[in-house]
């Protein structure tokens, strides 16, 4: 084996040699099944570091479970439909989606998406993910979106999907509705405007442009300032129509003047009041964000333009009393960051059965557990049902037509699917009036309607092979969307939770601790890391993160990971030099050092297995690294080297057996985290023994062999390590070579230990003493602290030092022990404090020129 581990070369070699079939899932396998509902990423073309972190976690689990004897399904999907693709295609081709026929625009979107999928696939393969590519699904293809349409049809038949005229969140820029979960909030500053409606009715609002949408004015019922107003009407300034003054407990008397304007609609609170008090609807905003005819002279203006003009006109009439700058959170579109509006529209909705969802979410095991509360909080805060219709093109068509004659809604039969109502017609007349004249639904489905059935699709729905799936791994940022929608849809379609367990990962932060962002210049791509240090180094960095917590990227951690790979390689290289055929060994031939490291190894196996099972990859990796680097390389190998190089054949047998046992176990333990390194080392190890083996990823995960755990052997091994470390440190301090011979080493300890490996490691004859040696403690040197005694004794300081030096060893040792002593200085007794002198001692054996080393559990006499 070469001295240097060349990560890139070796990783690219195995990418060519590994076959996809190695990870194919077999429904007929007799092994216990383990099905992962993998996130289908949006095909942006960039598999970013956040994706890499999430998929590393998934791959650690998949590889670990396979080695534990499970038949693992690790599918890969692509959540293709969506607004970002439409926006990007419009930019690339310099068109609007309405400039070309629907089919042509859809074709451009699909072409763009497939190119992005190819790029992302390459990165995923390069990162060594053990995906079952035979189970790949692409949501924009009919074989997938047919099932989306089927789910719509089934839920409609069961009364869980309906069409209604209702307030919805709308993005003026993207010209489409968006779900409540897709609103992002942006902090900013705005003006709070105090506007006089009438002498005793002054309202404070941040949205004067919605004055033409005003349908009521509200006060708190317990606000004594305004009780006399309740039940009266007030004129709306600039527009002259009257609105009622009502009382409602949700009015905050402390905000502004304590009188609020209710508009249809300024925010979600307006919607609540509108419903509760059955107020009229004055929809003043068009879909493009401009004001309509209800705004009178302000018709055609944008909300920003209307705000400025209305404030100007109010000021002219003396109605704008004052303005205050305040902070506010503005709801913006998740995609284009344009402020969203609430408008009333005829839209398709999915019923949200809050209690049912929360009750069943609790049946799922959440890791970390506290993430369940995020879902509960979101469900309880929802203002209205999930709006699923979108005014776009690149998405799953809603399988619905409207009878031109009577307006009846006709939903496709299941046997007609897939359908595109903009091209296809129903295969039977209108069930209400018999007409054959239909208008197809032009709205399409929210892309979450596609991705919220992934757990069902991978299990063969509608003909489920088994269900629920075993695991959903995902980020905490999509708990209120993907996790929530999937639970909702699974319960609606099959009456069952979608998975037994959900594991939530955090986000990736830049090295500066801030969220990775191009604008902040702190983005690192997986490709950049792979190019410098290989995929396994990136995977080790991912393993250092804690499930549920955000992880800061660190080049330092990447470099540390790469150094560990080099160390691991060097260890395997050393071991292969000493193997000839597969070593075997009778238990009675094992020496103390062998039994010690094997016992520690089995405890490591148990610890790592438990950590991997609990998704604590950070603990697993830390334990493997620590054992490999310190216990095995720094200690065991140094202790056993002499036996390997200079021992008899009988002495070499247990050492070789132990080397193979430890290294083969470590390779398998590390395999789920560093698959390339593990594969190469596995094959190199067995090639050295003349054996041809299957992939390490097809091996069983190590199991703890309880008969190898030996507490007594560990105590003896720790003592051997302690002694060897102490003497080697002594050699280092004496500027001696570590392999320099010593005349003798005599050890007094509380237990019998094997001295063969100690003698070899220290290059000395070693003797165990039965009796405690007669050790004397002497003061070797006194070092006065002149910074203290100088100012105190001035010219007499040297006399003080001389007086202390003339004390007996017994008196001097008192200073070492932290006690005071008394000396005579110019006929006066002076109490000498231990802080005045640094006392260096030495331990000697009477009548012998040996160095005495004391460890925690032994006394070692070294003769140089």
Give the pair of three-digit tokens for residue 144.
């997938």
The three-state DSSP-derived secondary structure of 352-417 is: CCHHHHHHHHCCCEEECCCHHHHHHHHHHHCCCCEECEECCCCCCECCEEEECCCCCEEECCHHHC
Per-residue pLDDT, averaged over 178-190, amounts to 77
Tokens of 496: 């069952």
How many angstroms separate the CA atoms of 122 and 46, rounded? Answer: 10
Strand partners, 344: 167
Half-sphere exposure of 317 (CA within 13 A, CB side): 13
Q: What is the DSSP letter of 513?
A: S
The pLDDT confidence band at residue 189, using thresholds 50, 70 and 90, is confident
Ramachandran sector of residue 654 (left: φ over 0; alpha: ψ -120 to 50; beta: rest): alpha
Residue 335 has what pLDDT?
A: 67
Q: How far is CA 645 from the centre of its chain?
A: 47
Burial class of residue 125, CB neighbours in 10 A (0-12, 13-18, 19+) = middle
Supply the pLDDT for residue 516: 83
Classify strands 444-445 and 389-390 as parallel, antiparallel or unpaired: antiparallel
Determine what percent of the chain is predicted with pLDDT higher than 90: 79
- In whole angstroms, give the CA distance from residue 677 to residue 388: 47
Q: Which of 116-125, 451-460, 609-618, 790-799 has the lowest mean pLDDT?
A: 790-799
DSSP letter for 464, please. -
Q: What is the DSSP string of 74-107?
A: ---EE---SHHHHHHHHHHHT--GGGS-HHHHHH
Beta strand 233-235 pairing with 438-440: unpaired
Distance between CA atoms of 797 and 788, rounded to whole angstroms?
10
- Total residues found in the chain within this entry: 864
Rounded to whole angstroms, the Cα distance separating 61 from 539 reads 13
Residue 484 has which token pair?
Answer: 């929530």
Could you give the residue ranges of the DSSP H alpha helices within 127-214? 142-157
The tokens of 10 are what? 């070796």
Identify the residue with better confidence: 473 or 346: 473
Residue 596's CB is within 10 A of a number of other CB atoms, namely: 29
User: pLDDT (tens digit, 9 = 90+) per residue, 217-260?
Assistant: 999 999 999 999 999 999 999 999 999 999 999 999 999 999 99
How far is 528 from 660, CA to CA, in rounded Å? 36
Per-residue pLDDT for 795 more than 70? yes
Give CA–CA dist 34/23, Å, rounded.
13
What is the rounded CA–CA span in Å between residue 576 and residue 582? 11
Residue 181 is predicted with a pLDDT of 67
Select from 446, 620, 443 the least CA-distant residue to 540: 620
CB environment 288-307: b (16+ within 10 A), e (fewer): ebbbeeebeebeebebeebb
- State the pLDDT at residue 781: 86
Q: Nearest 5°: phi and psi at 435?
A: -70, 150
CB–CB of 856/722 below 8 Å? Answer: yes
List the beta bridge partners of residue 350.
Answer: 161, 386
User: In this predicted structure, which of 253-257, 334-338, 572-576, 640-644 has the lowest mean pLDDT?
Assistant: 334-338
Q: Which comes out higher in pLDDT, residue 71 or 99?
A: 71
What would the two tokens of residue 321 be?
């009393």
Residue 96 preceded by cis peptide, ω within 30:
no
Q: Which residues does 555 contact at the CB level (< 8 Å), separation at least 6?
A: 511
pLDDT at 556: 96
The whole-number pLDDT of residue 177 equals 77
Q: How far apart (Å, rounded) are the C-alpha atoms in residues 20 and 366? A: 31
Name the pTM for this structure.
0.85
CA distances, 805 to each of 73, 148, 588 (Å): 79, 93, 58
**What is the arithmetic mean of pLDDT over 67-91?**
93
pLDDT of residue 779 exceeding 90:
no
**Apex 522 CA angle, 516 and 523, nearest 5:** 65
Task: Note whether 322 and 191 are within 8 A (CB).
Answer: no
The confidence band for 182, taking pLDDT boundaries of 50, 70 and 90, is confident
pLDDT value at position 847? 67
What pLDDT score was predicted for residue 419?
Answer: 97
Instruction: Render pLDDT for 404-458 as a digit per residue (tens, 0 to 9).
Output: 999 999 999 999 999 999 999 999 999 999 999 999 999 999 999 999 999 999 9
In a 13 Å sphere around the CA of 59, the CA atoms on its Cβ side amount to 31
127, burial (CB in 10 Å: exposed 0-12, middle 13-18, buried 19+):
buried
State mean pLDDT over 792-797. Answer: 90
Separation CA 136–CA 75 (nearest Å)? 6
Give the DSSP H/E element, type plus range, for residue 233: strand 233-235
Instruction: Give CA angle at 721 (716, 726), nearest 5°.
Output: 130
Segment 524-540, tens digit of pLDDT: 999 999 999 999 999 99
* 263-284: pLDDT as tens digits: 988 888 998 999 899 999 998 9
Are 343 and 210 in contact, with CB atoms under 8 Å apart? no
517: pLDDT confidence band, cut at 50, 70 and 90?
confident
The SS3 call for residue 548 is coil
Q: What is residue 179's three-state secondary structure?
A: coil
775 falls in which pLDDT band (50, 70, 90)?
confident
- C-alpha separations of 330 from 186, 266, 268, 481, 655 in Å: 5, 11, 12, 20, 69
| Rounded alpha-carbon distances, angstroms, from residue 98 to 88, 95, 101, 174, 761 | 14, 8, 7, 12, 80
Indicate the DSSP class of residue 516: P
Q: What is the residue-averaged pLDDT of the chain? A: 93
Residue with tokens 């640094």: 838
Instruction: Give residue 478's pLDDT band: very low, low, confident or very high (50, 70, 90).
Output: very high
Rg (CA), the chain: 38
User: What's the whole-number mean pLDDT along residues 456-470?
Assistant: 97
Average pLDDT over residues 150-162: 98
- Judge whether 326 and 206 are in contact, CB under 8 Å: yes
Token pair for 550: 């955000």
User: Do strands 365-367 and 499-505 pair parallel, antiparallel, or not at all (unpaired)?
Assistant: parallel
Span 619-635, average pLDDT? 97
Which ranges of 441-483 does DSSP label H, i.e. alpha helix?
447-451, 454-457
């Amino acid at each position: 084996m070469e001295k240097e581990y060349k990560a890139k070369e070796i990783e690219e070699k195995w990418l060519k040699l590994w076959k996809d079939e190695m990870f194919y899932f077999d429904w007929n396998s007799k092994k216990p099944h383990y099905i992962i509902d993998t996130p289908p990423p949006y095909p942006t073309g960039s598999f970013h570091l956040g994706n890499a972190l999430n998929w590393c976690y998934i791959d650690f689990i998949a590889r670990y479970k396979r080695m534990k004897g499970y038949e693992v399904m690790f599918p890969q999907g692509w959540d293709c439909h969506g607004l970002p693709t439409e926006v990007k295609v419009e930019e690339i081709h310099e068109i609007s989606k309405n400039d070309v026929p629907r089919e042509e625009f859809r074709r451009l979107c699909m072409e763009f998406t497939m190119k992005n999928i190819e790029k992302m696939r390459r990165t995923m393969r390069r990162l060594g993910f053990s995906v079952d590519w035979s189970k790949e699904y692409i949501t924009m293809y009919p074989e997938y979106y047919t099932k989306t349409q089927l789910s719509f049809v089934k839920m409609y038949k069961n009364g869980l999907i309906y069409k209604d005229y209702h307030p919805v969140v709308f993005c003026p820029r993207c010209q489409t509705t968006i779900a409540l979960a897709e609103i992002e909030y942006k902090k900013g500053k705005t003006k709070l405007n105090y506007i006089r409606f009438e002498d005793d009715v002054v309202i404070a609002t941040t949205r004067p442009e919605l004055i033409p949408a005003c349908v009521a004015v509200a006060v708190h019922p317990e606000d004594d300032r305004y009780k006399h107003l309740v039940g009266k009407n007030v004129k709306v300034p600039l527009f002259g129509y009257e609105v009622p003054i009502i009382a409602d407990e949700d009015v905050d008397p402390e905000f502004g003047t304590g009188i609020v304007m209710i508009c249809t609609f300024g925010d979600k609170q307006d919607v609540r009041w509108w419903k509760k008090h059955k107020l009229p609807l004055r929809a003043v905003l068009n879909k493009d964000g401009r004001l309509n005819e209800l705004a009178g002279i302000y018709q055609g203006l944008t909300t920003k333009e209307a705000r400025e003009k209305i404030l100007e006109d109010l000021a002219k009439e003396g109605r704008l009393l004052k303005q205050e700058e305040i902070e506010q959170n503005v709801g913006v579109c998740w995609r284009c960051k344009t402020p969203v509006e609430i408008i009333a529209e005829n839209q398709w909705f999915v019923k949200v059965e809050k209690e049912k969802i929360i009750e069943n979410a609790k049946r799922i095991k959440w890791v970390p557990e506290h993430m369940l509360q995020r879902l509960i909080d979101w469900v309880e805060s929802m203002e209205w049902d999930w709006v699923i219709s979108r005014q776009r093109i690149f998405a799953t068509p809603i399988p619905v037509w409207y009878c031109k004659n009577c307006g009846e809604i006709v939903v496709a039969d299941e046997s007609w699917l897939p359908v595109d109502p903009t091209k296809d017609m129903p295969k039977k007349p209108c069930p209400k009036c018999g007409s054959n004249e239909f208008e197809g639904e032009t709205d399409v489905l929210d892309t979450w309607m596609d991705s919220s059935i992934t757990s069902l699709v991978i299990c063969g729905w509608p003909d489920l092979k088994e269900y629920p799936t075993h695991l959903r791994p995902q980020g905490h940022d999509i708990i209120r969307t993907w996790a929530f929608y999937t639970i909702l849809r699974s319960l609606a379609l099959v009456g069952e939770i979608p998975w037994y367990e959900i594991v939530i990962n955090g986000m990736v932060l830049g090295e500066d601790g801030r969220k990775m962002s191009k604008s902040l210049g702190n983005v690192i791509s997986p490709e950049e890391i792979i190019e410098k240090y290989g995929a396994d180094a990136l995977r080790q960095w991912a393993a250092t993160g804690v499930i549920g917590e955000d992880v800061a990227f660190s080049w330092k951690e990447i470099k540390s990971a790469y150094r560990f790979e080099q160390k691991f390689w060097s260890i395997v290289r050393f071991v292969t030099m000493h193997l000839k055929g597969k070593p075997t060994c009778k238990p009675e031939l094992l020496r103390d050092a062998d039994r010690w490291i094997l016992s520690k190894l089995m405890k490591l196996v148990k610890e790592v297995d438990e950590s991997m099972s609990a998704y604590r990859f950070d603990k697993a990796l830390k334990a493997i690294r620590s054992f490999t680097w310190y216990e095995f390389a720094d200690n065991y190998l140094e202790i056993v080297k002499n036996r390997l190089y200079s021992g008899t054949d009988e002495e070499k047998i247990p050492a070789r057996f132990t080397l193979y046992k430890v290294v083969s176990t470590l390779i398998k333990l590390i395999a789920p985290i560093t698959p390339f390194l593990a594969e190469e080392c596995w094959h190199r190890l067995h090639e050295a023994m003349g054996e041809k083996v299957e992939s390490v990823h097809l091996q069983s995960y190590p199991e703890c062999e309880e008969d190898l755990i030996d507490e007594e052997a560990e105590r003896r091994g720790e003592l051997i390590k302690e002694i060897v470390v102490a003497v080697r440190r002594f050699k280092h301090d004496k500027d001696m070579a570590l392999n320099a011979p010593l005349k003798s080493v005599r050890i007094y300890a509380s237990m019998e230990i094997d001295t063969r490996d100690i003698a070899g490691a220290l290059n000395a004859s070693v003797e165990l003493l039965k009796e405690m040696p007669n050790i004397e403690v002497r003061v070797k040197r006194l070092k006065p602290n002149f910074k203290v005694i100088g100012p105190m004794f001035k010219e007499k300081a040297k006399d003080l030092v001389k007086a202390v030096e003339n004390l007996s060893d017994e008196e001097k040792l008192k200073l070492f022990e932290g006690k005071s002593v008394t000396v005579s200085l110019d006929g006066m007794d002076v109490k000498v404090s231990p802080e005045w002198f640094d006392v260096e001692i030495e331990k000697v054996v009477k009548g012998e020129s040996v160095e005495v080393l004391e460890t925690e559990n032994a006394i070692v006499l070294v003769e140089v």
